[in-house]
Structure 1
Amino acid sequence: GFRTVLLSMDSANSVARLFQDYGWYVATGAVIAYVTWKYATGPDTVEMERRRRLREARRRAERLKRNTFFKAVDLKRRSEMSRRRRMEADNSPGVQPSSSSTPQETEPFPQMDTKSFLSSLTESLGPDAPTFMPDSIMDVFAIARVQRRPLFVYLHAPTGVVSIENLRGLLGSSPGQYLSQNFICWAGTMRDSQHGSEGYELAKHIGIPSFTHSLLMVLGVVSDEGTAEDDVAIQVVAIKTAASFRSPVEVLQWAVSCQDAWGRIGAKRQMETSRARIVRDQNSEYEQALAQDEQRLQEERQARERAANIERKRAEAKQRAEQQKRLRQAVRDSLPSEPAQGEGVISLRIVFPDGNKKVRRFDSESSLKALFEYVMAQEIVDSDGGDIDPQRLRIVTRFPRKILQSSKGNLRDNGIIRDSVLCVEEIFEAN
């Protein structure tokens, strides 16, 4: 037992030394582990993403309101159109009159806005009813588009024959739970009140011929990927009157069939979208390849044109050089022979633009033309070794500086009566 106590004390001392030497690292690791644990056990990422999408959908809905079919129209004209539609519907042989022997004198849902109507409807149907969203129809459309879920809509007819008790029986329990889990639910009234109603506008938009029967309908919000936020379409999946259902089982079966139909519509549309995307990508790749080929051909054409220009300029320069060479040779052959030293003979040192110097004797009575012909007969280049056009040359004396003109007199007349130095200069055009 004493040995066990000693071993325990040694272990404790070892742990104490370990903390003393590495306590800072242990504390740092503990802090990092705690922060990691807090982050890992934070709000669920899926729920946060769902809330973000919901907020984004509602923001989109506010923008959709300005550009969709729910625009305010003239109140008097709308009321008159509603009255005519009801009269035509009541007189139409295809619409059955109400089966109730006594018409309802009271309106179960009087003139209200959407939120008040939904609040009253939810309270009347009880907790087993579908969870109707208290937002406007445009907000609901935006949410359905983001979540890619079908939309279940109940449109209440003010003069309909379906009572609240019948509706509670049809939508309660299993149908209500199934609709809440698989659909986005919304309800409205088809009463054309003085201020209008969204339910009435929706029914009018999808082409409901009569507003005398309460309706259950399933709608879908369809839009292509990459389209604008307000570029959506409302597709009717199914519509039935509430009075046509006899039991909750029929409502549940109808909801299941509507969900299956919406799934088939979504799959077909997704297939069409994928096919359109493939075609669009192929067209884009083809156009890109075509543009690259066109650019390559254009670059090759430009390269050939540049090479042709360079070759043409080289040939022209060669032709000019040969022509000037022949001209210089002809001038050199026509020059008189250099006179011998003697009376009246002067020696001229001629400096060319490239620094080269030549000395030649001339008779003082020689014309300036002979001097110019001698200069032009030489192969004159600039400091870089390039040929200079003889038309861009002039001869000047140094002291005093004087520009000689080839057509004026002889050397003596121009003051050249003794050995002198002459400069050949290139004439540069003034900018």
Structure 2
Amino acid sequence: MLSARGLLKEFLTAALAIIKTPLFLSNKLYSCVLKPIFDSLYFIPGTQLEQLEASQRFKKEYENSYGPLHLNIFNGTFNGACSAAQTELKPLLVYLESSEHDDAAVFNQKILCDSALIQLLNDKFIVWAASSSTFEGSKVSDKLHVAGFPFVGVYTFVHNRLNSLLKLERLYSLDLTLKKIRAAGKAAEASLFQIKKEREAQLATQRLKQEQDRAFFESLRIDQQKEQQKKREEEKSKVKEEELFRENNLLAQARTRNLIKLPEEPEQHTPGAIELRIHFPNGSSSSRRFNESDKILHVYHFAAGELIEDGKCLIKNFSLCSSFPKKTFEDKSQTLKEVGFTPRMSLYLINEDD
């Protein structure tokens, strides 16, 4: 007893046969109205499973009837086989059999199981096979305009167009079948070679662009890192400069206060007065009179005050020394008389930060 799906399929098949005759409706009405309805069977539950199993069922039925088949038949739909052929750049061989033709058994027993043919097909082709009695087999038969069985067709895809290289629509001898399939395979290689070169050129262009993009973004990343590092260093330098400025400013203020607190400068020819000249590293010099009772510390305060320019200390750490005899005055608590200063004395300021 037929299932509801089978009854629906038989009904639509019969209706299609009637409608296609010019006695009832025009071809235009058939193609625009009823054919889409028939095609919608692909989406009726059960029929999609049937089309997916068409190639699998062929191989299973073949092996049940003739024994193991070592031919690699594409496990999927016809459209899937087409996609695989395009992706792998191989020709597509389509084999359709019909149970209504006695030649199908001869082809399956004598030709399809031939080891040379199987090796050729497994190495060079994507093979899709089905019975025309299956729904998808019937659809593919109509699509390829098959006029006879057993059918062997070889196709290539050039710029997404299906090109026919071989159509065998009846039984031929094994030698002739093998010869024709080999010739079709060579013709396919010639057409697919150009596509392969174009694809390789496209891939090379894509890889080059990707490498250029990677190089650009890597360069951009390095530049950004350098810029960030530069900003961090500038910020650190700015903070350090600000700290140094504050320190220098505090030191200048302290030295200015010390300069103000210096003992009063004695008049010239005052007994015990010492005329002191200090020479600076830049070649300039400053002079002042001190009492012999003044301390070395007062001389340092005077020299430090002379090193202030525009509110900044030109030299932070320094010492004072005489040239003859050569002596550095480090004990700032001693008086000028105690260290042996003469009425006229020259000292040299040494920058200890150099």
TM-score for the superposition, normalised by structure 2: 0.47
Higher percent of residues as strand: 2
